């Protein structure tokens, strides 16, 4: 017998039935009935953030490090509008989230009531789908459908707007298994004829490369497993986007490192010179392609993606395979094996020789110093001292993010959380909170820039309240470093507003929140300071004062092709032409 209950109780019941353990939220008038229900139960843990944007980023961190959807609860009006940046971030990076917002009662909608906003209107372009529930009878079914939509196909954020009278009214609860199945059932299996054609190409290719992205990680652990098997069995080189790091281990023998604007020389050169490109779960983003007209001019291109709209959007491909990565890789491996595991051994050997020459360029080389901490050095030490540990990394956005991607290594998926598509400063700290909640025993480090970190610094309150020992590793260059770099390369070294002036004393700031602060200014103290941070059982702000004018290389200047990378400062100033200057 279906139970009758209030809408507010239904919300909590539906979340429980969906297996939700943690909700990130912030209360307000329009969600009080739901908060009242949360108060009266113990199955779902509510984490009180300090800003709704942080609730969404925390949920993203939780989702990306677990593979489960993240759940957010916020009030109407300003609660909902504060969530917009997080929703957009999650949409760009395909992160499954279910966001519940309160709304003014149905009879007040449209009257410009107190804290009324057209939430479904505002969030329509930044959610995968959203709903305004006007009748309690539909509430439970809508929540179950929301979880289905958020997690199936290409994952993404969804939002349910729940007017307050719908929360108070009663109706019959509908269980997940009784919910009518939606027509939204994305295709999982790839076209076997195309997969066979890809095997054909793989058997003869002289210069193949795997180009993988966040889609591998989103497809689940099986996809990463299959990818490893495929790469290692074929002996093909593999590079990955920022979002896909860890799907194939950095210690694996096929690994070329990250590609793209600040990717490794060998990875970008391999993309440019390959004769077969196999894109698995990546989307030819402009940070990857550089100048589209000159992108990998000689290659046959295959693209495996669950979202048909990703295919031929930017780069035209020869073998478009629509399907879930794990399903397609399984078929691909099966067909390739059944045909005798053939590859072009001779071609491959020559290809690897060429790649090894590119590797010998050592594109990540930088000039170290024994008086100033170089940001690259700080990350190398962090990597060295934490490598074997059960470690999760989040980042903010800027130079430090790119250096982190270059210098930290990941051998497993779901260990690296960064804002890729939207590039949201302020993402990393709340994301680290979400990760730590999901993995209480693990070491969670947010590699931050001082400017980004300040954007959500209020979350120190959340970290200390819930005793989350997140480590805020701030590479403090007292600059909006990435902006400064572009101004140097593009705007005649006129550094318009790219300073971080009036920075706080981060050690005192930590102490003000009841956390630990560590200041490090000398390369000689770095190892000890990092160990002190790791060993401390509680949140830490690590203020690492680094070289202020370091630039992040390699760099493909915007508007340039892959084979025109800048490797160092010598040839960098004014390297971006007029056409590139209009790109971001």
Ligand X SMILES: Cc1ncc(C[n+]2csc(CCOP(=O)(O)OP(=O)(O)O)c2C)c(N)n1
Residue ranges binding Mg ion (CB under 5 A): 449-450, 477, 479, 481
Minimum CB distance to ligand X smaller for 171 or for 476? 476
Q: Which is the catalytic residue, given 5, 18, 53, 164?
A: 164
Q: How far apart are CA 265 and CA 521, in angstroms?
A: 31
- Considering the complex, what minimum distance in angstroms separates the CB of residue 86 from other proteins? 19
Q: Which is the catalytic residue, given 18, 24, 52, 550?
A: 52
Is 365 a binding residue for other proteins by CB under 8 A? The answer is no
Q: Which is the catalytic residue, given 115, 197, 458, 487?
A: 115
Q: Which two tokens stand for residue 430?
A: 């709340």
Q: Which two tokens stand for residue 391?
A: 């470690």
The reply to whether 9 belongs to the active site is no
Chain residue at closest Cβ approach to ligand X: 449
Q: How many CB atoms lie within 10 A of CB 493?
A: 11
Q: Name every residue whose Cβ is closer than 8 Å to that of residue 42 and which is 6 or more positions away in sequence.
A: none
The reply to whether 172 belongs to the active site is no
- Contact of residue 396 among Mg ion, other proteins, ligand X, none (CB under 5-8 Å per partner type): ligand X
Q: What string marks each residue from 314 to 343 as x (binds other proteins by CB under 8 A) or -?
A: --xxxxx-----------------------
CB 489 within 8 A of CB 464: no
Is 450 a binding residue for ligand X by CB under 6 A? The answer is yes
Four-point Cα dihedral 160, 165, 168, 173, nearest 10:
-50
Minimum CB distance to ligand X smaller for 142 or for 401? 401
Q: Which is the catalytic residue, given 10, 482, 533, 565?
A: 482
Is 451 a binding residue for ligand X by CB under 6 A? The answer is yes
Q: Which residue in 260, 273, 449, 523 binds ligand X (CB under 6 A)?
A: 449
Q: How far apart are CA 337 and CA 8, in angstroms?
A: 54
The reply to whether 147 belongs to the active site is no
Residue with tokens 């006129």: 494
> In a 10 Å sphere around its CB, with 0-12 CB exposed, 13-18 middle and 19+ buried, how is residue 409 labelled?
middle
DSSP H stretches of helix in 262-390? 265-273, 286-289, 325-338, 345-359, 375-386
- Considering the complex, what minimum distance in angstroms separates the CB of residue 320 from other proteins? 6
Is 300 a binding residue for other proteins by CB under 8 A? The answer is yes
Longest dimension (CA), the chain: 75
- Considering the complex, what minimum distance in angstroms separates the CB of residue 141 from other proteins? 13
Q: What string marks each residue from 201 to 230 as x (binds other proteins by CB under 8 A) or -?
A: x-xxxx------------------------
DSSP per-residue codes, 463-532: HHHTT---EEEEEE-SB-HHHHHHHHHHSTT--TT-B--S---HHHHHHHTT-EEEEE--GGGHHHHHHH
- Considering the complex, what minimum distance in angstroms separates the CB of residue 310 from ligand X? 23
Minimum CB distance to other proteins smaller for 99 or for 480? 99
Angle made by CA atoms 224, 229, 234, in degrees to the nearest 5: 130
**Binding span for other proteins by CB under 8 A among 296-304, 362-370, 447-455, 456-464:** 296-304
Q: Closest Cα to residue 481, out of 394, 389, 404, 560?
A: 404
Residue count, binding to ligand X (CB under 6 A): 20
Q: Which residue in 29, 78, 176, 347 binds other proteins (CB under 8 A)?
A: 347
Q: Which residue in 76, 432, 477, 558 binds ligand X (CB under 6 A)?
A: 477
Q: What string marks each residue from 124 to 153 as x (binds other proteins by CB under 8 A) or -?
A: xx--xxx-x----------------x----
Q: Which residue in 308, 538, 568, 580 binds other proteins (CB under 8 A)?
A: 308
Q: Show contacts with ligand X in window 399-438 (CB under 6 A).
A: 399-400, 423-426
Is 483 a binding residue for ligand X by CB under 6 A? The answer is yes
Q: Which two tokens stand for residue 345?
A: 């051994």
| Phi/psi of residue 568, nearest 5 degrees | -165, 180
The reply to whether 189 belongs to the active site is no
The reply to whether 579 belongs to the active site is no
Q: How far apart are CA 559 and CA 289, in angstroms?
A: 9
Is 200 a binding residue for other proteins by CB under 8 A? The answer is yes
Q: Which residues are catalytic?
A: 52, 114-115, 164, 482
């Amino acid at each position: 017998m279906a139970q009758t209950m209030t809408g507010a109780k239904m919300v909590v019941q539906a979340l429980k039935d969906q297996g939700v353990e943690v909700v990130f939220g912030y209360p307000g008038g329009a969600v009080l009935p739901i908060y009242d229900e949360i108060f009266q139960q113990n199955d779902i843990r509510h984490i009180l953030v300090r800003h709704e944007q942080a609730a969404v980023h925390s949920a993203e961190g939780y989702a990306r490090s677990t593979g489960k959807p993240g759940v957010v609860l916020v009030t109407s009006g300003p609660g909902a509008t504060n969530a917009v940046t997080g929703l957009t971030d999650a949409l760009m990076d395909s992160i499954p989230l279910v966001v519940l917002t309160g709304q003014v009662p149905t009879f007040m909608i449209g009257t410009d009531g107190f804290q009324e906003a057209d939430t479904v209107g505002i969030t329509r372009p930044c959610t995968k789908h959203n709903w305004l529930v006007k009748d309690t009878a539909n509430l439970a079914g809508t929540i179950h459908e929301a979880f289905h939509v958020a997690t199936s196909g290409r994952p993404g954020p969804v939002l349910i707007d729940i007017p307050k009278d719908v929360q108070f009214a009663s109706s019959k609860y509908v269980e997940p298994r009784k919910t009518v199945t939606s027509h939204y059932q994305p295709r999982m299996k790839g076209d076997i004829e195309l997969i066979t054609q890809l095997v054909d190409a793989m058997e003869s290719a002289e210069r193949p490369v795997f180009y993988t992205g966040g889609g591998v990680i989103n497809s689940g652990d099986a996809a990463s497993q299959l990818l490893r098997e495929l790469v290692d069995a074929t002996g093909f080189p593999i590079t990955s986007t920022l979002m896909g790091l860890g799907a194939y281990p950095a210690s694996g023998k096929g690994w070329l490192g990250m590609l793209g604007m600040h990717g490794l020389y060998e990875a970008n050169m391999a993309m440019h010179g390959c004769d077969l490109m196999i894109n698995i779960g990546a989307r030819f983003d402009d940070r990857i392609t550089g100048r589209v007209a000159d992108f990998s001019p000689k290659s046959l291109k295959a693209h495996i993606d669950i979202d048909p709209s990703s295919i031929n959007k930017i780069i035209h491909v020869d073998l478009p395979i629509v399907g879930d990565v794990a399903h397609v890789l399984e078929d691909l491996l099966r067909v390739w094996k059944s045909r005798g595991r053939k590859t072009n051994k001779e071609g491959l050997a020559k290809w690897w020789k060429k790649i090894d020459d590119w590797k010998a360029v050592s594109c990540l080389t930088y000039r170290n110093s024994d008086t100033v901490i170089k940001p690259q050095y700080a990350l190398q030490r962090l990597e060295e001292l934490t490598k074997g540990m059960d470690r999760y990394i989040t980042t903010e956005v800027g130079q430090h993010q790119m250096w982190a991607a270059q210098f930290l290594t990941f051998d497993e998926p779901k260990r690296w959380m960064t804002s890729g598509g939207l590039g949201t400063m302020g993402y990393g700290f709340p994301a680290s909170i979400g990760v730590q909640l999901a993995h209480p025993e693990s070491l969670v480090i947010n590699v931050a820039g001082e400017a980004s970190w300040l954007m959500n610094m209020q979350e120190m309150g959340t970290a200390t309240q819930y005793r989350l020992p997140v480590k805020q590793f701030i590479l403090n260059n007292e600059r909006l470093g990435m902006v400064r770099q572009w101004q140097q390369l593009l705007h005649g070294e006129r550094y318009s507003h790219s300073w971080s002036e009036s920075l706080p004393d981060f050690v005192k700031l930590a102490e003000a929140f009841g956390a630990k602060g560590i200041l490090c200014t000398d390369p000689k103290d770095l190892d000890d300071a990092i160990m002190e941070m790791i060993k401390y059982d509680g949140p830490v702000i690590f203020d690492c004062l680094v070289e202020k004018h370091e630039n992040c290389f390699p760099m493909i200047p915007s508007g340039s092709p892959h084979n025109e990378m800048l490797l160092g400062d010598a040839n960098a100033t004014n390297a971006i032409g007029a056409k590139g200057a209009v790109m971001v």
